[in-house]
Structure 1
């Protein structure tokens, strides 16, 4: 659902804006091991560059009502360093945030990153409706009046712009992605998102990892545990305090109930 696009995930707070100059391709990570080692994440995860869209198991297809609860937040470098807005995010702990998401059947155009919805082609795959989902999550956290629009790059769906009120905007690009199927009912996704938050006379730069483990309870119920790590960009004046260590960690519990 982003793996929750937040980019579920990411509390879509105005402090999460990101940019990374370079990410080295390495061997694929074991995502289940990554989750099991939380919160002892001492290094930024290395993920391959995304190829087209993230494909989900068939049991994701449909419209879902999501209940999202922040269960824990950690500032690994506190009191030496804490990200702006970290203390404000504490207001979301144990708060039930509700929104809708969609996962849609799609076929990929082999000549580009465009996707064409279909319910006929036997080769259809299931992907997140990123535009709808990103807008729903942002509005749930920030309010409908504060979120004007979410624009997906039609040539490359890994890029999106979220426009807020007062000429603020968040430019997000997925630069790393991986998935792992544990069994028929368990599925893990991980994405690294480069985001750049811009407002008049000010910008924020950062990088976010969102790693999520989904479990199918029954055809109408999915649960998930989601882990988000925030990293400083090399351009940040505090970068050498952290290097590639996370400066903020968030743990969420999600419930997805299928809508009729």
Structure 2
């Protein structure tokens, strides 16, 4: 899928959550400090390289959900799609990245997206086949997550996106910070903040070029 302002679940997809103003005060975390400077983000970001490790979610994410995504600026239309979170071989909860990316990609791009494939050697890399003899290579190159009180979870991922096709590849970097809150067993509300940077070939230091923020509501289906 071509780089877009709307988050691609982490890449796509990444999910995010609204927090109540009545929650007790806690010390600001690294990711909360990062959020406080949005949208004036820049690289390098305070995100360790993930290696071969996937993003581990709290147990309350497990299952299948109907996602409703709303652009807070009102520019992009509300969309709905399915997402799911499953156990890995160690019994930890991870996103079904290929399924989730294809689901949100189809909602955004329609028939332009043909399929999304996981790299069997790296859970942080996906390939999205597009029409017109194009494909998008997306790799998570930085990540930090934090479990917080009151069923809260924060995650920040930096993805390198390379769009291959006729002509020279188009390279960009997308950082998505997600804040999740469990409302009850069947509902998660999320808030997400995202910025896009240019190609790493332009230098390791980079300022945000575009910004986006939105709300995501997950309603349990099974």
Q: Please classify the TM superposition score into its range, dividing by the shorter chain length.
A: 0.7 to 0.9
Q: Residues 43-58 of structure 1: matches in 2 within 5 Å?
A: 43-51=43-51, 52-58=53-59
Give the Å deviation of 1:50.
Answer: 0.6
Q: Residues 134-153 of structure 1: matches in 2 within 5 Å?
A: 134-143=101-110, 145-153=111-119
- Tell me how many residue pairs correspond in the alignment: 202
Distance in structure 1 (CA, Å) of the matches to 2:49 and 2:214: 25
Residue from 161, 177, 180 that aligns with 1:195:
161
Residue from 85, 91, 100 that aligns with 1:133:
100
Give the Å deviation of 1:42.
Answer: 4.7
Counterpart of 1:70 in structure 2 is 71
Counterpart of 1:6 in structure 2 is 11
Distance in structure 1 (CA, Å) of the matches to 2:8 and 2:130: 22
The runs of 5 or more residues in structure 2 that have no matched partner are 1-6, 15-28
Residue from 64, 67, 78 that aligns with 1:96:
78
Give the Å deviation of 1:250.
Answer: 0.6
Counterpart of 1:220 in structure 2 is 186
- Residues 193-221 of structure 1 deviation map (CA, whole Å, 9 limit, x = unaligned): 01101121242111110110000000100
TM-score (norm 1): 0.72
Give the Å deviation of 1:147.
Answer: 1.1
What is the SS of the residue equivalent to 1:133?
helix
Give the Å deviation of 1:225.
Answer: 0.7
CA contact (8 A) 1:227 1:250 kept: yes
Distance in structure 1 (CA, Å) of the matches to 2:83 and 2:113: 16
CA contact (8 A) 2:8 2:101 kept: no
Distance in structure 2 (CA, Å) of the matches to 1:3 and 1:103: 15
Counterpart of 2:40 in structure 1 is 40
Give the Å deviation of 1:3.
Answer: 8.8
The runs of 5 or more residues in structure 1 that have no matched partner are 10-28, 73-89, 109-123
Give the Å deviation of 1:56.
Answer: 0.3
Taking only aligned residues, the RMSD between alpha carbons, in angstroms, comes to 2.2
What is the SS of the residue equivalent to 2:214?
strand
Report which of the two has the higher share of strand: 2
Q: Which runs of 4+ in 1 moved over 4 A?
A: none
